[in-house]
Amino acid sequence: MGSINSIYLKAGGQFGPIKFINTCVPDSLLIGLYCCYVQHEHVASLFNSFEKLRAPMVFLRVEMYDAAKASWLYLSQFSVTKNTSERDKYVIDAWSEPGDHLHILNELIVSNDKLSKLKHLGNVHALGLGLCDLDPLLVLVDIHKGMNTVPTLHIEDDYYRPYELQFLLMSRRSFPLHMIVALNLFDRWVVYDNEKSSYVDFNPTQADFKGDFIIHNAGYVETQNGMFIDHFTLCVQLFSVHTFLKSIFFLFSQFIIIFFSLNSFKIFNNKQYDCLMYDFTFFLPVPIGVAEEGYRGTVPFNRGSQKEHID
């Protein structure tokens, strides 16, 4: 359960009374992010520290596909409309561009000033823990429309930290309105298409990006071991005194949060809360949709039954 090879989002879907249509873009983006999540521990830690991403990742991990889509589409702020063909049914039309979803990640944005080697590819979105602006863990790039060659598979930032290409959001010239994603799965490249039933092998160095594939977005992951202590040490070595003091203040504030959280736990324990559990990992009371390996997730649409699609 949770292996990327066992995860396959099919087109469309339904959660409770809400039907999803035109989901190729969010499906492809979710699979690309999940690929990073399952293969890199520091990316998993980053996503699990952020409730908006923790929920869909956990739902995918336990193969609750429609719940994952529901949580993502809710955060993407798509409108729920009445389904005119079915009574008491609703529709979310997820027709979109990849950029329509990136606002979900805004709280994880850190400085991209040291990613100059990536900026020639397009607009760079650097994601990280926020403690150290020089330390992006995942980099999303809006590829220039005119690019007709594969982006660099391996690249370094200005501090010589290595990044590896993890996924490519693409369309095909024969079907330009349909989004697919090429994934780097443990050094084996495959293509995911939500209209297909399985992954298809793909070779980015031999693919035809002039006459066939159109690249829209690329995802790069930092490949050196990105443990917290390494990030903190790098901050101390490379950052100004001002930034270092900001980091110390953050750690002190976390200590205060922990202290008051532990003292207030008895209050939570003595009250009745539906679908509420205390999450000691991140010191937040978060709604429970599924609890797996200590992580928490929730779908904000409907507290009722969760109907999985079989199409």
The string of pLDDT tens digits covering residues 72-117 is 999 999 999 998 777 778 999 999 999 999 999 999 999 888 899 9
Q: What is the pLDDT of residues 228-286, one digit of tens each?
A: 434 433 343 333 334 334 434 444 444 344 334 334 333 333 333 232 222 322 323 33
Hunting for tokens 């990136």 — which residue is that?
A: 102
Number of H helices, E strands in the chain: 6, 17
What is the per-residue burial (b if ≥16 Cβ within 10 Å, else e) of 125-152?
A: bbbbbebbbbbbbbbbbbbeeebeebbb
* Pairing mode of beta strands 284-287, 188-192: unpaired
Where do the DSSP E strands lie in 115-228?
Answer: 122-127, 138-143, 154-156, 162-172, 175-185, 188-192, 200-201, 213-222
Q: Identify the band that residue 3 occupies on the pLDDT scale cut at 50, 70 and 90.
A: low
Give the model's pLDDT for residue 10: 93
- Of the candidates 167, 168, 125, the one whose C-alpha atom is nearest the C-alpha of residue 147 is 168
Q: What is the pLDDT of residues 152-198, one digit of tens each?
A: 999 999 989 999 999 999 999 999 999 999 999 988 999 999 999 89
Q: What are phi and psi of 68, to 5 degrees?
A: -60, -45
Give the model's pLDDT for residue 262: 35
- Of the candidates 152, 166, 137, the one whose C-alpha atom is nearest the C-alpha of residue 225 is 137
pLDDT mean over 25-40 = 96
pLDDT mean over 3-21 = 88
Give the model's pLDDT for residue 224: 84
Report the predicted TM-score, pTM, of the whole model to 2 decimal places. 0.73
Give the model's pLDDT for residue 133: 52
- 10 Å Cβ neighbour count for 117? 13
What does the alpha-carbon distance between residue 232 and residue 272 come to, in Å, rounded to a whole number? 40
Give the model's pLDDT for residue 236: 33
Residue 214 · residue 170 · CB < 8 Å: yes
Give the model's pLDDT for residue 237: 37
